[in-house]
Structure 1
Amino acid sequence: MASLFVDNLSVIDCAYLDAQRGLVGESFLVDVVLDGPLDAQSMVLDFSQTKRRLKAGIDASLDHRLLVPRQLPGLRIQEDGAQLHLQLDAAPGRYEHRSPASAVCLLDAARIDTETVAAALQRQLQPLLPPAIRLHLNLRHEAIEGAYYHYAHGLKKHAGLCRHIAHGHRSRVELRVDGVRDRALEAQLAARWRDIYLGTQADLLDRGDGQLHFAYQACDGAYELRLPESRVQLLDCDSTVEEIAAWLHRELAPLRAGHRLQVRAYEGWGKGAIAG
């Protein structure tokens, strides 16, 4: 037997429901180890095959989905044909989510964490490999020095999975004033945007009783999300990372008037946009 490893095989950018935090944007880094006999090429499995098979399986199951633990206290699930309706009474308030069922991944667990997600992913990916190969998964968070925040959003115009109204990211932010990191301003933003939903003004259907109701039609069906106003940052633009960086620059530049501000906004791990 031999072992093959691939670190940083993929990143799962998703969101999940939590009884205490409500709707949480998240990014999980995926490392894998394959145990098995050597084949005719003296390999456990060719690296290109490993990446192609497993990355495709991740993209088709958990990536850019809303992860929902079925045993979550206060959760109600209703199926209406191809649509799924979720309701959750969480500590921050009530959350309601309607979408095509394909935008949601229901897990047989009481909460979402690296262990429950890894177990679900293991069941999804093992059948994609030859029977003689055993898969081992490790999910982890990016080690971030400094400020970061969890945000969820949806991009109705996107032809890919970003159209899902509740997916998200765990993202660092770097703010430079006259070329020097402004750690205090970064910490201020991270505290303000902890577990935030970045909602587009054009998608806001109504508001009342401390709730905001977003809705839009995407290429695969209708989406709706209702959540506490206290957990929403309304944007006058789409919530692409390019627009987020530009919005943050407009918002924060007056706090450092007379100085040059540069915003490096991240979208999950290792990618993002620059403004200023």
Structure 2
Amino acid sequence: MQRIFARIRWSIKYTSTGLSLMNHLFVDNLTVIDFAYLDASRGLVGESWIVDVVLGGELDDQGMVFDFSNVKRTIKRVIDERVDHRLVVPTGYSGLSRDADQPDAFRWQLKNGHYIDHHSPQEAVVWLEADRVVPSAVATLLQQELHSVLPANVIDIDINLREEVIEGPYYHYVHGLKKHLGNCQRIAHGHRSPIRIDRNNHRDHALEQAWAERWKDIYVGSEEDITTRFVDTNGVGYIRFDYEANQGEFSLTLPEERVYLLNTDTTVELIAAHIADQCKAEWPNDAIRVKAYEGVGKGAISIR
């Protein structure tokens, strides 16, 4: 479990009534948002952002800006429900096409002419009023949501979204787990994940880098979820995934070059096992240990 560091600090702020003291409370590492978003060039991107929160306002009857016991119960819940394990779609992008008859379906045209089709229940998507997905735009959305649920004495809300500092190779991947009973069942959610591979008890940086390159902005899909393979009029190959889960029906069509297929589900345990098996096939006489992350500070280990 991540430690939550918190304290109260004081600052000077100009208000309509003049210069006044304002109380600020901050919580670093409140949570991690694991989600996916669409980019004009990169396509479908998996991401993990660490969330820091600063609240400013008047002290309540307890002498607090906001009770720390409520931080996770209220603020973390709103952040998780609004963005975590969702697909963030910037509505200001010119290559976005939506069907009025199917409000939950859309097409995303990439700059290279390829496209991505997506259909899912409404709760799996976040429509962001911006032309691209950046931390400041998502933070503004979350700040607006929080203003409606926090007490009136909380005047300022500042959310900082940041990437984990990773020493070594990492990749951005997206997947969906149809058998999962929670939000991982959504067909397009993702992670920014480091990887560690040890061969004969020594870290193999070249192998790590090779997998990071192989899975750069990749969709890791299950072969059993494929319903269609086709080639469009421009000669581009596509793969369509469809499945029904607890939350409803999901569909995703991607250029084949942006997909990596497993013959299993795509849990992080099975991802770690797959990478370990592939490394073992390349180095059959060596001891292989793969530590595959799923976002920040969690994942699976596979030994061969």
Aligned residue for 1:128, secondary structure, equals coil
C-alpha separation between the residues in 2 aligned to 1:232 and 1:91?
Answer: 18
Residue 131 of structure 1 pairs with residue 158 of structure 2: no
Once the 2 structures are TM-superposed, how far is the Cα of residue 61 of structure 1 from its aligned partner?
0.9
Checking the alignment, whether the CA contact within 8 Å between 1:18 and 1:72 is kept in structure 2 is no
Aligned to 1:106: 127
User: Per-residue deviation at 1:177?
Assistant: 1.1
1:78 CA displacement: 2.3
Query: How far has the Cα of 1:201 moved from its partner?
Result: 0.7
- Gaps spanning 5+ residues in structure 1: where? none
Is it true that 1:203 corresponds to 2:225 in the alignment? yes
Aligned residue for 1:181? 203
Matches within 5 A, 1:57-206: 57-80=78-101, 84-91=104-111, 93-133=114-154, 134-206=156-228
Q: 1:164 Cα shift?
A: 0.6
State the AA in 2 paired with 1:89.
Q
Q: 2:260 aligns with which of 222, 233, 236?
A: 233
Normalising by structure 1, we get a TM-score of 0.97
1:272 aligns with 2:293: no
Partner deviation per Cα, 1:134-176 (whole Å, 9 max, x = no partner): 2111000000011000000001111111111001000000111
Distance 2:48 2:294 in 1: 9
Unmatched runs of 5 consecutive residues or more in structure 2:
1-21, 232-236
- Alpha-carbon distance between aligned partners in 1 of 2:115 and 2:272, rounded to the nearest angstrom: 29
Q: Judge conservation of contact 2:60–2:153 (CA < 8 Å) in 1.
A: no
**Is 1:243–2:270 an aligned residue pair?**
yes
SS at match of 2:84: coil
Higher Rg of the two aligned structures: 2
Give the Cα–Cα distance (whole angstroms) in 2 for the partners of residues 178 and 39 of structure 1: 59
| 8 A Cα contact 2:91 2:127, kept in partner | yes
Q: What residue number does 1:47 align with?
A: 68
1:223 is aligned to 2:254: no
Structure 1 residues 29-52: Cα deviation after superposition (integer angstroms, max 9, x where no partner): 110011122223222211110121
Tell whether 2:40 aligns with 1:8.
no
Q: CA deviation at 1:79?
A: 4.7
Give a deviation string over 1:47-77, Cα, whole Å, max 9, x none.
1101210111012211100000001121112
**Contact 2:59–2:153 (CA under 8 A) maintained in structure 1:** no
Q: Secondary structure at the match of 2:264?
A: coil
Instruction: Identify if the C-alpha distance between structure 1 residues 80 and 102 changes in structure 2 by more than 3 Å, giving closer, same or farther.
Output: farther
Whether the 8 Å CA contact 1:19–1:73 is kept in 2: the answer is no
Say if 2:90 and 2:132, in contact at 8 Å, map to a contact too: yes
Matched length? 275
Q: Distance in 1 between matches of 2:170 and 2:101?
A: 37
Q: Which moved more, 1:160-169 or 1:92-101?
A: 92-101
Q: Secondary structure at the match of 1:207?
A: strand
- Amino acid in the other structure paired with 2:153: A
- Alpha-carbon distance in 1 for matches of 2:127, 2:224: 29
Equivalent-residue separation in structure 2 for 1:115 and 1:163 (angstroms): 27
Whether contact under 8 Å (2:65, 2:153) holds in the other structure is no
Deviation at 1:255, TM superposition (A): 2.3
Of residues 39-48 and 122-131 in structure 1, the stretch that sits farther from structure 2 once superposed is 39-48
Between stretches 14-23 and 245-254, larger displacement belongs to: 245-254
After superposition, the CA RMSD in angstroms is: 1.2
The percentage of counterpart residues that share the same residue type is 49
Structure 2 distance, partners of 1:170, 1:91, is 23
